[in-house]
Structures are given as structure tokens and as C-alpha cells.
Amino acid sequence: MNAITLGNNMLDMGNTQQHDNDGQSAGPPSRIKTVGFRLLAAIPPLIAAFFLRDLGRISEYAGTVGIIITLVFPALLNLRSRTRMKEIFQLDSARTYYSNELSRKRYGPVNLIIGLGLFFYILVNLLME
């Protein structure tokens, strides 16, 4: 389930052709592209599992992927959607009816830095064990 979520988030971030010039939806991404991003998210843990035989160790590394999914990708999606909204609709502000304090401009980079910092801190500690 983590690989599907991560793959979908990477697809949303990488899919710049979702809207045409009028801001209308260009349709869903192709199935091949969707499966490709999901495989991109699923294969690295499988390769790591080939080399690591301890299930507890695998779970520790999988937890680092959870940090990426919960902290890093939402921040990247926030920054990307803000940029795309300004590009597509040519607005000065990216605020919508659904905007709140956590969707302000300064929180995306802060969450991204915190998420990446936690990820690398935990990863370094795991590698040093």
C-alpha cells in the first residue's frame, strides 16, 4: 500500500500534462505511466530485502519510507500545486476556499526541510548500526 501511495504521489508530481492551456483536465494518465511509477516505488524495497535477511531491519528501513510519504511528499505536492495553480490560472495568489494556515507559502519549505532532515538523520543512524 505504501508503494501504491508513493507511486501515485510521484506520478502527480511528475505529470505536468494534466491540464491543457485552458486549465481543463486533459484526462487521466496512461496505465503504463501509472504502473511505471508504482513499480519505481515498489522495486527498491524489494532489492533491499534481497540483501537484508533480518525482518526487523527491513521494517526499520520501511519506516524511513513512511517519513517520506507523510512529511516530504505532501510538502512537495503543496509547493508543486501552488506553482501549477499560478501557471494555469495566472493568479498572484494560490489561495482557495480550502486554504488554511497550513497551506501558506512558508509551511511547504519548512515541512520539506523537517521531513528530509528526519529522513536523513534516521537513515544515517540505521546505516551506522
Q: CB under 8 Å to 32, separation ≥6 — which residues?
A: none
| pTM score over 0.75 | no
Q: Decide: 111 and 46 in contact? Cβ < 8 Å.
A: no
Q: How far apart are CA 36 and CA 57, in angstroms?
A: 27
Per-residue pLDDT reduced to its tens digit, 19-73: 555 556 667 778 898 899 999 989 988 887 788 777 787 788 888 888 888 888 8
DSSP letters along 52-85, please? ---HHHHHHHHHHHHHIIIIIHHHHHHHHHHHHH
Q: How far apart are CA 57 and CA 66, in angstroms?
A: 15
Domain ranges in the chain are 2-128
